A and B are shown apart, each in its own frame.
Chain A
Amino acid sequence: MLAVAQRVLCEQKRWLSRDQFVEILSLAQILPGPNVCNVALMIGDRFFGWRGAFAALAGMMAVPLVIVLVITALYSQYASNTAVAGALRGMGAVAAGLIIGTGFKLVGALRTNPMQTPVCAALLVAAFATVALLRWPLVWVILALGAGAFALAWQRLKPRIAAQGRS
């Protein structure tokens, strides 16, 4: 969906430059909430204030919500049908793969991270092990790992900014 948003907003409507789009997207990504919803809110807000923000969000969610609920209602009627159940199982298996594949794509973005690669790898593995294997509650994992990661990144950013200031 973000690929479509970028094409329409930057190339067709020309409301935003590519730099502005990337800036909004990076903020949307560090904030909680669905990225594409946050992008819609922020762009609506920048042009038309809070009313624009909610118009953008509602416009993006309303029709898909109705469609997805209709599909769900139909699904619960046909859930006992083995072909339908099988199709859903197959789609579920693919959905798991889509998420894992997206994860692999994003690993490449860690190369420019100010924390060294072993530190990033350790944080990634720790998040996976505690949530996926140990099934710890997410809130504690994010608070504990996030605080540690913030401190590490804070430390690593200091010499780089100082070096930039000197040059």
Chain B
Amino acid sequence: MISSSALFTLFGHFLLLSLLSIGGAITVAPDMHRVMVDQMSLLSDAQFNASIAIAQASPGPNVLFVAVMGYQAAGLAGVAATLFGIMLPSTTLALAAARWGHARREWRAVQAFKAGMAPIVIGLLFSTGWILSAQTPGWHHIIPTVVAALLVWRTRMHLLLLVGAGAFVGAMGWV
């Protein structure tokens, strides 16, 4: 069982990550891996990957993958730590900024921030995909990853269909 001081460390780290999660919580997943798997050993690599897969396959916002990580690390107390940690700063900021920024969207600073962050945010998305893929040993799993990436990029195929196909090839023991 996880100690309450570890729980607070986790909560504090997610508060910080929340403010960095430009482009969605998934962009900070590499840092969650660094802390929860490498540093604190709260999750195994397999549990970390399963958290993201379960949340992707379920209805609702993808940010719920942090709730799955919290649950696997420390039950409902873990859910409270990760989910409130990731939501509290960003929602407060979003409310304040929406009111502040609505009148100032022509400002050069606002536009420079948006333009400057765009390539970085996309680079972080690739990082997340890379880290998810690199954790699994072997090379067979690279095939569904590449196929899924191409289909998402080039077609409008339903995402659940792709996740379902992944579950099927996995259950058959092909990846």
Residue A17 is within 8 A (CB to CB) of chain B in the complex: no
Among residues of B, the one whose C-beta sits closest to the C-beta of A50 is B95
Residue A30 is within 8 A (CB to CB) of chain B in the complex: yes
- Give B108 Cβ to nearest chain A Cβ, in Å: 5
Residue A163 is within 8 A (CB to CB) of chain B in the complex: no
Q: Is the interface of B mostly helix, strand, loop or mixed?
A: helix
A-B contact count (CB 8 A): 355
Among residues of B, the one whose C-beta sits closest to the C-beta of A44 is B95
Docked-complex contact A30 and B152, CB < 8 angstroms: no
Docked-complex contact B93 and A33, CB < 8 angstroms: yes
**A residues adjacent to B (C-beta < 8 A):** 1, 23-24, 26-38, 41-42, 45-46, 50, 53, 57, 60-61, 63-65, 67-69, 71-73, 75-76, 79, 82-107, 109-110, 113-115, 119-121, 123-128, 131-132, 135, 137-139, 142, 145-146, 148-154, 156-158, 161
17 A-B interface contacts by CB (under 8 A): A1-B60, A27-B105, A31-B90, A32-B90, A33-B18, A67-B60, A72-B71, A83-B173, A92-B52, A93-B144, A96-B129, A96-B132, A105-B153, A138-B20, A145-B120, A146-B120, A158-B108
**B residues adjacent to A (C-beta < 8 A):** 16-26, 28, 30-31, 34, 46, 49-64, 67-68, 71-72, 79, 83, 86-87, 89-91, 93-95, 97-99, 101-102, 105, 108-109, 111-134, 136, 141-142, 144-153, 159, 162-163, 165-175
